[in-house]
Amino acid sequence: MAKMTMVEAIRDAHAVAMERDERVVVFGEDVGYFGGVFRCTKGLQQRFGVSRCFDAPITESGIVGAAVGMAAFGLRPCVEIQFADYMYPAYDQIVSEAARLRYRSAGDFSAPLTVRMPVGGGIFGGQTHSQSPESLFTHVAGLKTVMPSNPYDAKGLLIAAIEDDDPVIFLEPKRLYNGPFDGYHDRVATPWSRHELGEVPEGYYNVPLGSAAIRRPGSAVTVLAYGTMVHVALAAVETYGVDAEVIDLRTLIPLDLATIVASVAKTGRCVVVHEATLTSGFGAELAALVQKHAFYHLGAPIERVTGYDTPYPHSQEWAYFPGPERIGAALARVLEG
């Protein structure tokens, strides 16, 4: 075991996957020589050579389009989109090509590629460096969508994503990249935004896609969260002394519905938390599934705590985030229901 930040765990996952399978290639903007803007691929080009870790032109559509071709040819590309906000030019390649290749070819071809991208706020990135577009991917049949909340899962899930025979969208919360906040981030950081280094096994392991984790058992209410919001939800239930069961979804598609339904059947109440905007957010799908599969267990309406339906606010991002106070208020409402 080694203590790692999420950046280090992601870097290690690349190295393990590349060492085990020579078909794995890594590329994107500034990914090769520089090692990525967040340093997630630092040292990979020096270790594996320029044919397996290399820089790409500033063309997200070209990056993903090339990856689709490589995947169809038999490689296993893992590409980085520098920020999730930059993925829109590549959306057609992701949706029309990668997600549908297996189906349009009647199984003759597949697209075993992984598209990594940093998501969410917390670094004063403003409107074009802070979005959380996960629902744009969960809506698309043929894609798998992953968002880890800690270094252990980041490494294990990324290895599983690279090994998967279908396209995986791998979303990395920027607020969790480097463990404890310091320096620049301390100016706005609050105690619930600090995250310790994670214990990560050295060498190979994976975390299966489609498996949620219960981060805190409880009996009064179920809280569903993913990414950074797992930590915020845990802080909220501890702050307000609520006996909540906090579930870290880890994989949005495929979703571990069995764990969710079993928890809500036990607690009778449910709060859904995510950083993305409210309208058409993934929380709406979660609420609909809980309503369908656990309706007769519910003792109160399902609550959603999310970002606001506004363009991302640069100077007010910490007010935009769901914090313990807003989650605590939602918990109080469902417990009173």
Active site residues: 129
Query: How big is the CA angle at 133 (ends 132 and 134), to the nearest 5 degrees?
Result: 100
Helix axes 257-267, 282-294, angle to 10 degrees: 60
